Structure 1
Amino acid sequence: MTVIGDDGLARPTWAATDPLLRDYYDTEWGMPVRDETGLFERLSLEAFQSGLSWATILRKRPAFRAAFDGFDPDTVAAYDEHDVARLMADAGIVRNLRKIEATISNARATVGLREDGGLVDLVWSFKPDRTPAPTSYADAPTTSPKSKALAKALRAKGFVFVGPTTMYALMEAVGIVDTHLVDSHRRGSSGIWT
């Protein structure tokens, strides 16, 4: 179900009131991300979001970017135990040791993937032939055969914190699937799905 905003545009309830979520929904969520750093950032933030609200992660995003050197995979891949200690002391981010270590491991795996075409090509190779057309969030899937296969492929390449639900959220966030509600003003805005 969508809500008509004061600007006359239909958005889901989660993006209807909070200005930060509304801006994210209107400008970024579901738009194609096809650069390595951008995709690594989204993958990392989705892992940090696991078990938390997306609003929490979005509010901390500037601090995450500062703490993780703009999510540059080469820089993060070189982190050592001093960086882990620094990150664990940073109140601006989610201080979860397993997720911090996962981000560093995933940076190393991202760098390693360059020999096989790279993270972007691998993730986008799981784009399905069709996208869902939900009329309510109850209709929107949280996993798919493609997200399960993507999770398995990433794990085989050394990635962690990449379960099927997290990978489906990534696929939604970067435009691989379009789960904007059918009556949302953003439906089809990625240019990938009409």
Structure 2
Amino acid sequence: MTRCDWGETENDLMRHYHDEEWGVATYDETETFELMTLEMMQAGLSWQTVLNKRAHFKVAFAQFDAAKVAQFDDADVARLMADAGIIRNRRKIDATIANAQLLVKWHEAGRSLNAYLWTFVDGKPQVNRYATMADLPGQTPLSQRVSKALKKEGFKFVGPTIVQSWLEALGILDDHLASCTVNHVKTK
């Protein structure tokens, strides 16, 4: 098996993420919120750091149940800021809570963030097969368009580079290298 360069690692979490999650289409709303949060938390850090803390993030953020996270108050923020098991960045924590509150409003209105994101690609994963990791863009016209739309809707910490990574994580974009032989045609 040949993987994308970053998936060729001895680290089990990274290898599993590459082989089983990244670029695999998901339609689950909770997973969409989880990956949104994790991609926000990763900004400025390595994805390995996020994966190492992922299990603890799930506990700290109520299994990424948006309705529960939306109710987090100042005591919860203080708890999160003191929690060495997560990335303790106040702006990112505040954005996660604000995004959960907005997501709850969407759900109450019968809207789905996951379904909304898929409309940008007409419900079909956009498959790219770049030759090298250097060819893989940090952002694209698609991520710029989605970022702008999400910001207009009121979501926080959703710049085009974060959105690019998030769309890849959700499988809306499948950006595995052309040389990668991992079977990506599956859904979560």
TM norm structure 1: 0.89
1:159 aligns with 155
1:42 aligns with 35
1:187: how far off?
Answer: 5.8
1:22 maps to a residue whose letter is R
2:5 aligns with 13
- For these two proteins, the number of residue pairs brought into alignment is 183
1:23-77 Cα deviation digits (max 9, x unpaired):
1111111111211111000000000000000000000000000000000000000
Matched-pair contact (CA < 8 Å) for 1:10–1:185: yes
Unaligned runs of 5+ in 1: 1-8
Moved over 4 A (4+): none
Unaligned runs of 5+ in 2: none
| Aligned match for 2:71, one of 67, 78, 89 | 78
Identity %: 44
1:4 aligns with none
Q: Please give the residue correspondences for 1:96-135 in structure 2 after superposition, counting only pairs within 5 Å.
A: 96-114=89-107, 115=109, 117-127=111-121, 130-135=126-131
Matched-pair contact (CA < 8 Å) for 1:46–1:169: yes
Matched-pair contact (CA < 8 Å) for 1:181–1:187: no
RMSD: 1.5
Asked if residue 136 in structure 1 is aligned to residue 129 in structure 2, the reply is no
Pick which of 114-123 and 58-67 moved more: 114-123
Matched-pair contact (CA < 8 Å) for 1:113–1:157: no
Name the SS of the counterpart of 1:111 in structure 2.
Answer: helix
* CA distance in structure 1 between the aligned counterparts of 2:13 and 2:93, rounded to whole angstroms: 24
Matched-pair contact (CA < 8 Å) for 2:23–2:184: no
Matched-pair contact (CA < 8 Å) for 2:99–2:156: yes
